[in-house]
Structure 1
């Protein structure tokens, strides 16, 4: 009997220890879930304010809190409000798609221009390297042929001169090949410039951000990065950190911005391969940041269309 009681006590102590060890993990999980819920709520509030849906969602929430299964008047009003939320969210989602579509089209056109400039650069560099190789090796063989002692000192001197000349020519050709690594410059014409509105530059052709999309970029996102400024300010800070932009407002930086935002009738502006590389990458960053708006729209949608749980009869 004593052995049985002792075994039960040991089992009870082990169970207590296991429970005390598991409790902090449960608390951490609950805290994390609470923080995630709070962040989602702030995202819902920000986007609902942006779309002008805050009064509608508040009224819908009050109806949902007091709505009983089987009520007709309240359900009809809630259905109307849900339809309004649905239409607003769908319109904003299409605005996001339109902006992302224009950006994708511009990136495709710039990629084609970049590929063309790279092909021209590679061809020029290959020709210069081949010329340097032929000048160095071919002329070297000729110089060696003039160095036989039986040909006399005069022929040897001519060979030395040819050798010096070929060395200089090979060096010049190699130097030109290095200089041409930057590649030729081209012009971006008859194309949108979706970076222009973000840098207060004149837009061209169909360059246009829907108001809700542009306002979304200009808002400070809720969460741990709120202290870093608006979404657009955070993007510009990332571009400066990666070297795509300069932190100063000097002439060189202004010329870089002009190259990044040229398009349409600005055919006088010439852009390099590096400019196109930066511009394509920056457009991808803008498209990715805009795409996050769909995540917030989905939260508004889920919150607006939820219905009371009715028992199954």
Structure 2
């Protein structure tokens, strides 16, 4: 790039040649000079003027600072209002959770009055002032306390319901043979071998040989052996002095000490021992005393719970 400078008084001219590199350096040098000049002007006019109390500069500085503070305050207020709305939503959910806890408490055997840690709220909306940070922190602290109390109560109810479920799973209410039909019932009958009156201590389920025998409830196998009268026999302890007996099986699939679950396949129907044909003899004993198994099987149906009878 060429520049020609002409002096009218001296009547002479001078040519200046700038290459690309020199032009770039000149541009950056000019930019740097302008930046330094702007910084110096800011320092001299605004900062010095603000310190020494120049009227115009002081007014400008106050306006800038005021606008900055207003923006910061508006930002904080918007965030506080958003947090307050979230706190309101949390309070509403806590009320819903309390209502759910009251419904579940009856199933868990907990007094509903013991879980009322917060009263219902409502009414017409009347706008008021926004919450302060201190009020918001206090509300959050109350929510934390209430949620902690509610969590403890729900944990208690969960434990109660779990215990009830375990106890239910340990009561023999499931029919031990699905494919069979009921033969001899519990009570006195004519013995098929000697023709004399005798007590039948269980239920006979007529079924084809090999039909699966299922545990009527969960428990621990205490007997798995051959008995001269019961044939291949399994006894399962369900706790609380409650035992079920499965007799005349063609084969046994569990051993003494095994833990079985409700409905588990523990053997197959047969006609071993003192038996006239293939069937399952099913007994329920409480403290060693035979009970009518039909009362336990009927407990799985809607109606009053079975009553244990000790003879």
Bigger radius of gyration: 2
TM-score (norm 2): 0.26
Q: Which has the higher contact order (CA 8 A, sep 6+)?
A: 1
- Bigger share in helix: 1
- Bigger share in strand: 2
TM-score (norm 1): 0.26
